[in-house]
Amino acid sequence: MPRCSVTRRVHFNAAHRLHNPKQSDEWNRRTYGKCNNPNFHGHNYEMDVTVTGEVSGETGYVMDLDELKRITERVVLSRLDHANLNVDVPWFRDVIPSVENIAVVCWRELRAALPAELALRLRLWETPRNYVEYEGH
């Protein structure tokens, strides 16, 4: 059977700040600039969730995209949407919520929730002009 990648795009929005508590305030301001604002700022995040596998002869699907959407809503969006990543989300207790780290953490959570035979990669936009891709390496 042919192998395809299928993608479902999802949306969440959240507040965050970039801050490394092991470094000085001066280091944080110099490194992160406006993104270090102690009162937080925020973004609309768009995430492409892509799974790769064989097309089923029975359904014509690699995976039912409504099922992929439901899993993503349960595993990721229910925790991150309309949240403050630094304050509300335990995943970022010891992890700086940069767009790179958000993608890595979402990938690990989705990886554990998806069938092992499907490869997984994510593309996460933080703004319309910045995005990150991660596929688990």
Question: By the criterion CB under 8 A, which residues form the site for its own copies?
Answer: 2-11, 13-16, 18, 20, 23, 31, 33-35, 37, 39-44, 46, 50, 55, 58-62, 64-66, 81-84, 87-88, 95-101, 103-104, 127-134, 136-137
- Provide, rounded to whole angstroms, the least separation between the CB of residue 133 and its own copies: 4
> Of 41, 54, 82, 133, which is the active-site residue?
82
User: Measured between alpha carbons, how far is 117 from 131 in angstroms, rounded to an integer?
Assistant: 27
Strands 130-134, 41-54: pairing is unpaired
What separation in angstroms does the CA of 98 have from each of 65, 85, 132, 135?
28, 10, 10, 17
* Annotated catalytic residue 4: no
Closest approach, Cβ 123 to its own copies, in A, equals 9
Q: Is 126 a catalytic residue?
A: yes
68 φ, ψ (degrees, to nearest 5): -60, -40
Work out how close the CB of 81 gets to its own copies at its nearest, in angstroms, rounded to a whole number: 7
- The C-alpha R_g of the chain, in whole angstroms, comes to 17
Catalytic positions, please?
35, 82, 126
